[in-house]
Amino acid sequence: MAAGRLRLGSTGEDVRRLQELLRARGHRIQADGYFGGSTYGALLSMQQRAGITADGVAGPRTWQALEGGAPPQPVAVHPRYVQAVSEPGRPAEPAEWNLMVYMAGNNNLSDAAGRDLEELRAARAAEGVRVTAFVKRQEAQGRAQRMEIGRGGAPDAIEELGPTDSGHPQTVVDFVRWAAGRAPARRYALVLWNHGGGWTPDDLDQLYTQVRGRTVGHDVESGYVRRAPRASMADAEPTFSELSRLTETPEVRKSLFSTSLREVLTLPTGEDRAICGDDGTLHSLDTIELRNVLRQVHHDLGRPLDLLGMDACLMSNLEVCYEIREHVGSVVGSEELEPNEGWPYTEIVNALAANPRMEARDLAGLVVEEYIRSHRASQKTVTQCAVDATRIDEFMREFQTLAESLKHQVHANRSVVDSVQSVVTRFNSDRSLVDLRTLCLALVADTRTEATLASVADKMLAVHNPGGFVIHEDRQGAKVEDCGGLSAYFPMERTISRHYARLQIAQDTDWDEFLTAYGNARTIGGRRPPRQ
């Protein structure tokens, strides 16, 4: 017997039964009776495959589809995406590499997406390298395309998609399944392309409707969004003007996943939502969603992804690398904001085509070199770093010792940490991410630093050198002259994001305890600040 309509936030035995039915169809979710983001993604995928309205709501048609037929057996790559590799013109053997580029360009970088597609098409064709892409642009009115790029003048093989949420994690998973079926390869690289700022108030309104089943209050007159008074920040229900304010914050604009934004929109008050739009919360939520995506890709491929490239801002980050370490080999990203031009795809693919058997570490280092080279003439401030996630353990042992020593320094002489955090190189709109190398350099340089902490900082600098966990890093610009390519969360405010504790780095190291101890020590009168 089918239950009633279930949506995000629903709880109880009906939700547990829904989860069990989804698990029977191969979806890796917990049957805990809570309808959260993972259940939403699994349900959305099931609805798409069943050919019913994909709205993430379990209604009558969804229950009928779930309970009416035998569940399919889980497969590494879903059959719907598999295309025969023996079709005319296709090599029978897998390629050496499939470069999968996911372009969420439905924002102010829509034109940049078009330019990067042309760069991919301009690369030389090579039998050992195949390039697949997902593309969504503003002018497509919500529609998207999946394609295998035709290089050297060959036409693209394009599959048109209907209205698609390019910010949903499941859309990324479905693209990888399609790409692996379309272009089997011995090695897979996934590039997540999104360094724009394109979430609009209408986008958030739509997300809120999906979460709560109702629209926000539209306080709009004559095309002008009326600014709500500050007193309304305590109201439980957001207004359209509050959504407008949220989309003006850089952290909201640059969020990778719509599910992260959905979680912020479920918070009870406007003040809570405003804080989460400006305290590093969305970076933490995006990191968790990225882990979920790569865990599913790992399961589908039967092994970790060979290379993850993040042609996006602020993602060369220790929290990110640690979170995804079990599901990917090499990781490439920038700890600084990226210019709209992003990666030089023609040069990268040409170099890969010239040596298609290169290992993932070599390709990761190549991306760093070509990226920095492409921006030399512009004199823009840029960073790029490649790390080997399989060799992170030694780095993390030193990082744990650093966290322990910093906690001791806070109690012994907090002013040292005050000085260091004021001079360290910072990133993100709220400056909540700090470059780890400049942090350690500042600790070593301060004569008041305890001897043990100074020694630990020296060791951190040593393990930060390229050749081990850090494969290669480079930078350009006065701001980043002394940077080492990796950032960590160290907010300037006394409170830390309530969601930081959900990250694996907070669960496995004392870094969050150091941040909390430092925040408490800075509080006047010794009162503990509220954990936001």
Per-residue pLDDT, averaged over 111-125, amounts to: 88
DSSP letters spanning 320-365: HHHHTTTTEEEEEE-SSPPPTT---HHHHHHHHHHSTT--HHHHHH
Looking at the domain assignment, is residue 241 inside a domain? yes
Question: Over 60: is that where the pLDDT of 487 sits?
Answer: yes
- Reported as a pLDDT band with limits 50, 70 and 90, residue 202 is low
| Banded pLDDT at 253 (limits 50, 70, 90) | low
Query: Same structural domain for residues 481 and 491?
Result: yes
Are both 476 and 450 inside the same structural domain?
yes
What pLDDT is stored for residue 360 in this prediction? 95
Question: Which has more confidence, 280 or 512?
Answer: 512
Q: Which residue has the tokens 């599913």?
A: 296
319 and 270 both lie in a single domain? no
Is residue 97 one of the residues assigned to a domain? no
What's the total number of domains in the chain?
4
Q: What is the mean pLDDT of residues 378-400?
A: 94
Residues 445 and 514 in one domain: yes
| Per-range mean pLDDT, top range of 98-112, 298-312, 395-409, 423-437 | 395-409
pLDDT at 530: 45
User: What pLDDT score was predicted for residue 75?
Assistant: 33
More confident residue, 369 or 206: 369
Do residue 236 and residue 374 come from a single domain?
Answer: no
Residues 415 and 466 in one domain: yes
Asked if pLDDT for residue 455 goes beyond 80, the answer is yes
pLDDT beyond 50 at 219: no
Residues 265 and 400 occupy one common structural domain = no
Model confidence band, residue 379 (pLDDT cutoffs 50, 70, 90): confident
Burial class (CB in 10 A: 0-12, 13-18, 19+), 217: middle
User: Which of 391, 412, 433 represents a domain boundary (last residue)?
Assistant: 391
Higher-scoring residue by pLDDT: 470, 259:
470
Cα–Cα distance measured from residue 134 to residue 169, given in angstroms and rounded to the nearest whole number: 13
Domain endpoint, select from 346, 367, 391: 391
What are the E-state strand segments in 391-445? Answer: 426-427, 433-435
Structural domain boundaries enclosing 450 = 393-526
Given a cut of 90, whether residue 102 has pLDDT beyond it is yes
pTM tops 0.85, yes or no: no
What is the Cα–Cα distance from 405 to 418, expressed in whole angstroms? 15
Regarding whether 520 and 505 lie in a shared domain, the answer is yes
Residue 62 tokens, joined:
């969804």
pLDDT digits (tens, 9 = 90+) for 186-201: 999 999 986 444 455 5
**436, 486 contact by CB (below 8 A):** yes
72-81, 278-287, 361-370, 487-496: range with highest mean pLDDT: 361-370
> H-helix or E-strand containing 95?
strand 95-105
Predicted pLDDT at 442? 97
Q: Let me know whether 327 and 360 are in one domain.
A: yes
292 falls within a domain:
no
Q: What percentage of the chain's residues is helix, strand, coil (to nearest 5)?
A: 45, 15, 35
Q: Which of 330, 362, 391 delimits the end of a domain? A: 391
Whether the predicted pLDDT of 275 surpasses 70: no
In a domain, 4, yes or no: no
- Model confidence at 516: pLDDT above 90: yes
Name the more confident of 223 and 406: 406
Q: Is residue 187 part of a domain?
A: no
Residue of 127, 90, 119, 198 whose CA lies nearest to 371? 119
Contact between 277 and 255 (Cβ < 8 Å)? no
Q: Give the per-residue pLDDT at 403.
A: 98
- State the pLDDT confidence band at 220, using cuts at 50, 70 and 90: very low
DSSP secondary structure of 247-291: HTSHHHHT-S-HHHHHHHHTSSSHHHHHHHTSSSHHHHHHHHHHH
- 397 and 365 share one domain: no
The answer to whether residue 255 is domain-embedded is yes
* Candidate from 9-13, 209-213, 296-300 with smallest mean pLDDT: 209-213
For the chain, percent of residues with pLDDT exceeding 70 = 75
452 and 408 inside one domain: yes
pLDDT-derived band of residue 508, with 50, 70 and 90 as boundaries?
very high
Co-location of 386 and 413 in the same domain = no
**Rounded distance between C-alpha atoms, residue 70 and residue 363, angstroms:** 43
Beta-strand pair 426-427/305-312 = unpaired
Lowest mean pLDDT among 144-158, 296-310, 487-501: 487-501
Q: Is residue 102 part of a domain?
A: no
Query: Which sign does the torsion angle of CA 417, 418, 420, 424 carry?
Result: positive
| pLDDT for the residue numbered 458 | 97
Identify the helix (H) or strand (E) that includes residue 40: helix 37-50
Q: Please state, in angstroms and rounded to a whole number, the distance separating the CA atoms of residues 389 and 412.
A: 34
| Domain-located, residue 429 | yes
Name the more confident of 379 and 30.
379
**Which CATH number goes with the domain that contains 55?**
1.10.101.10
